[in-house]
Amino acid sequence: MINIHEAKTQLSKLLQRVIAGEEIVIAKAGKPIARIVPFTQKPTQRLPGTAKGKIWMAPDFNAPLPDDLLDEFEGKPI
């Protein structure tokens, strides 16, 4: 954590640390107010269907739970 005055006087050095992957927190009166983090490119646009054939779901995935298990989730006495 670095105070505002130090951040202003050391900006170039701080940016070199950020380029190296470090995250810098700037504080005012010891209270964090901002973060300087490395810039990353936005991910490429997602394409639907790229996981086709990689995911398996049981045929009864959406079937109701057995009463005894449902009671455990709902906190009802058995």
Helix (H) or strand (E) holding 13: helix 11-19
Q: Are strands 24-28 and 31-36 parallel, antiparallel or unpaired?
A: antiparallel
Instruction: Tell me, letter by letter, the H, E, C secondary structure of 33-48.
Output: EEEECCCCCCCCCCCC
In a domain, 30, yes or no: yes
In a domain, 29, yes or no: yes
Number of domains in the chain: 1
In a domain, 78, yes or no: no
In a domain, 23, yes or no: yes
Tens of pLDDT, residues 47-73:
898 888 898 899 999 999 888 888 888
User: pTM surpassing 0.85?
Assistant: no
Alpha-carbon distance of 16 to 11, in angstroms, equals: 9
In a domain, 51, yes or no: no
In a domain, 55, yes or no: no
Helix (H) or strand (E) holding 28: strand 24-28
In a domain, 65, yes or no: no
- Note down the domain range covering 6: 2-36
Of the candidate ranges 2-6, 15-19, 71-75, the one whose mean pLDDT is the lowest:
71-75
